[in-house]
Every structure is written in C-alpha cells, then in structure tokens.
Amino acid sequence: QPSEEISELLKGILGEAFRAYDIDSDGNLNKKEFKIFLSDFHESISSRAVDEVFADFDSDGSGTIEYDEFIAACYVLITKASGTDDGLRTSRRATVIVGEKILQDDDGGEEEEEEEVPEDLTALSPEDQQRAIIRRAFSMLIIGTGIVLIFSDPMVEVLSEIAARANIPPF
C-alpha cells in the first residue's frame, strides 16, 4: 500500500482515469473494466493473468475493484514499471509479484525493445552515447534556429513583394 501522502497524490491524478475505466459508472471496476485498464497498461496480458491480478487487488473479495484498491494497484504498477520498490518491504513481496505478472508475457518474460542508436555512437559507453546524442540534438536545434533567423526576414520581404506584384492585399 502507498503512504497516505502518495495515496492522496495518486487520487488527485488518477480520479479521472478511474472514472474513464468505470464504464457502467457504478464506482467500481468489474473484471471486464479492469482487464481494459490492464490491457491499456500492458498490451498483451492473458485472461488467466487478469484473473490472478484481479484477485490480488480485490482485497475485500467483493468481486470488484473499488477506488482505493485501484489506487493501490496503480501504485504497484507504477513502482514496478519504474523499477523503484522504495515503499515496498519484503512482507509485501506478493504485491511485487503481482506487478511482475502484469509486466511479463505468458512465456515468462517479454523481450525488451532495443533502442536504435546511430551507428557512429554504438562503440561508446551508454553515458557517452547520451552525451553525444544530447550534443547532437542541441547542435541541430541551434542550426535550425540559425536557418530560421537567417531566412525568415528575407522570405517575408520576398513574399510581400510577390503579393504586391500579384495585387494581393497584405493582412
């Protein structure tokens, strides 16, 4: 369970999302609505995994996920997806396992999508790659800004002259 402060923060952020997934507007998520939520969070989750996760998060056994249970579920998903288990203790290992179930395929794991790195940067360490990519991005930004500054004023004059010769009035 998240701390009271984190819970309040998540409630402020996720209230609208909960209402969006609560299709029948009864204030709870049934299994079908919860499956839609999980599918949006993780594209390929099996029905069996949905059943297991639903049972784990339906802490009162009501057969629906209430708002507080939804907040707890989102907390687990967020902490597991970001790789931070700050607030989780070993006694909450079951909750972490639930997050792992959601983030895995039925085959026991999902291959991570490889990020495409420009060929000339592949020999560099990840930190050096990041620096080089950031440097390249800023240089492209500066060049683009320079081009706009150099050509924008003359282009305005050229277009104004074309408009004048074509008898098109200015705005």
Per-residue pLDDT reduced to its tens digit, 27-86:
899 988 888 887 777 656 777 877 888 888 888 888 898 988 888 888 877 777 666 544
- CB count, 10 Å around CB of 14? 19
pTM exceeds 0.85 for this model? no
| Cβ 88 vs Cβ 75: under 8 Å | no
DSSP string, the chain: ---HHHHHHHHHHHHHHHHHH-TT-SSSB-HHHHHHHHHHHSS---HHHHHHHHHHH-TT-SSSB-HHHHHHHHHHHHHHHHT--TT--GGGHHHHHHHHHHTS-TTS--PPPPPP--GGGTTS-HHHHHHHHHHHHHHHHHHHHHHHHHHHHHHHHHHHHHHHHTTPPP-
Per-residue pLDDT reduced to its tens digit, 121-154:
888 888 888 888 899 999 999 998 988 888 888 8
